[in-house]
């Protein structure tokens, strides 16, 4: 009697051996998805201020609860090991215990110990523990493994069998949600005009008054100009000072010009502007112009008036002698 040779048993691939029955539960999916969202919010930083509460809430969850929850799932994978209250309390306790370990590890790494690195470390630990917890559950039979409350919804099937009235309600809810979300974004996101450069003048002693208003020809006039980059990226600035004869509009002279001034967002630079009035006369107008990124039109303008001549005495200027920054002004030729 001929025997049929036994079927040759071929070894499976490494992934099939390591993860024979891997099943990712809903809670693990939410943890990994939340980690991706939190990483995206960290990359955005402060560019979208209205998302800061969401980022703070997610960060607290991934620091104070998620690491312990994943570790609890890895240690107690059976449904009868712990009840809901015990599992929740142990999750918080283990999360608090994990934070010092992550901080101690980061203190010896090149990245250092900072709030951002601690949060990133907590997220990485949470994802690793979630993977271990999912692997441990997959090795247990379905009837005894721990299964959180599952929320399974198949929108395609529901939409097919739903009544038309229910569909309209869902569509209306989605539209209202989008409108409310768009309104919040419009109200929360600063308009582009709020990202502008501050340009100001200071008089004697670094105060907002004390500007010279009565000088003699060829006397040295000195004020302090301040530039604050409130833009969203680095800018390069240039300052010019022009004297205009109030009685003869065609009579003008360039008396000061600075070099390129590069400022990062939030950076402040104060510089002394010194020049000599080229001619005598009352109501001599001094335009101090700020140019940005090599543009030919001025970005900001400050204006002073001086009386040139007489005994050369100087007196403190009234606040009205310096005008507020004006919008775009074409630079004199």
pLDDT at res. 188: 57
Flag residues of the chain having pLDDT under 50. 1-2, 4-20, 311-333
Residue 23 domain-assigned (yes or no): yes
| Residue that finishes a domain, picked among 189, 206, 241 | 189
Residue 8 domain-assigned (yes or no): no
pLDDT at res. 186: 64
22 and 145 in a common domain = yes
pLDDT at res. 158: 64
Can you give the pTM of this predicted structure?
0.43
Whole domain around residue 292: which residue ranges? 198-330
Please tell me the number of Cα atoms within 13 Å of 235 on its side-chain side.
25
Contacts 24+ apart (CB under 8 A), 199-208: 199/225, 199/226, 199/227, 199/228, 199/290, 199/299, 199/300, 199/302, 199/325, 200/225, 200/226, 200/302, 200/325, 201/225, 201/226, 201/288, 201/302, 201/304, 201/322, 202/226, 202/270, 203/316, 203/317, 208/319
pLDDT at res. 87: 81
- The domain tally of the chain equals 3
Closest alpha carbon to 199 in 257, 236, 232, 239: 239
The first and second tokens of residue 36, run together, are: 């991706």
pLDDT at res. 317: 38
pLDDT at res. 245: 80
Residue 287 domain-assigned (yes or no): yes
pLDDT at res. 34: 83
């Amino acid at each position: 009697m001929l025997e049929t040779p036994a079927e040759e048993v071929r070894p499976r691939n490494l992934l099939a051996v390591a993860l024979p029955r891997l099943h990712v539960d809903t809670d693990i999916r939410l943890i990994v998805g939340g980690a991706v969202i939190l990483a995206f919010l960290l990359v955005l930083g402060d560019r979208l201020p209205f998302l800061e509460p969401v980022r703070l809430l997610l960060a607290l969850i991934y620091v104070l609860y998620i690491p312990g929850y994943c570790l609890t799932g890895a240690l107690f994978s059976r449904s009868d090991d712990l009840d809901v209250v015990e599992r929740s309390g142990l999750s918080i306790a283990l999360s608090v215990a994990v934070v010092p370990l992550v901080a101690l590890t980061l203190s010896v790494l090149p990245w250092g110990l900072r709030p951002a690195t601690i949060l990133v470390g907590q997220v990485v630990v949470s994802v690793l523990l979630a993977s271990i917890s999912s692997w441990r559950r997959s090795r247990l039979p379905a009837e005894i493994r721990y299964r959180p409350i599952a929320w399974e919804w198949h929108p395609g099937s529901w939409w097919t069998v739903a009544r038309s009235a229910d569909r309209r309600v869902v569509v209306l809810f989605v539209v209202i949600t989008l409108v409310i979300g768009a309104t919040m974004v419009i109200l929360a996101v600063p308009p582009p005009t709020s990202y502008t450069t501050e340009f100001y003048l200071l008089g004697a002693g670094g105060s907002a008054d004390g500007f010279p208003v009565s000088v003699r020809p060829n006397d040295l006039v000195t004020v302090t100009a301040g530039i604050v980059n409130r833009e969203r990226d680095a800018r390069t600035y240039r300052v010019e000072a022009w004297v205009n004869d109030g009685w003869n509009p065609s009579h003008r002279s360039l008396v000061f010009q600075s070099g390129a001034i590069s400022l990062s967002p939030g950076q402040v630079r104060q510089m002394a502007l010194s020049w000599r009035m080229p001619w005598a006369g009352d109501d001599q107008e001094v335009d101090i112009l700020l140019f940005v990124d090599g543009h030919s039109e001025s970005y900001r303008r400050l204006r002073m008036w001086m009386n040139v001549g007489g005994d050369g005495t100087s007196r403190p200027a009234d606040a009205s002698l310096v005008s507020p920054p004006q919008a775009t002004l074409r630079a004199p030729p």
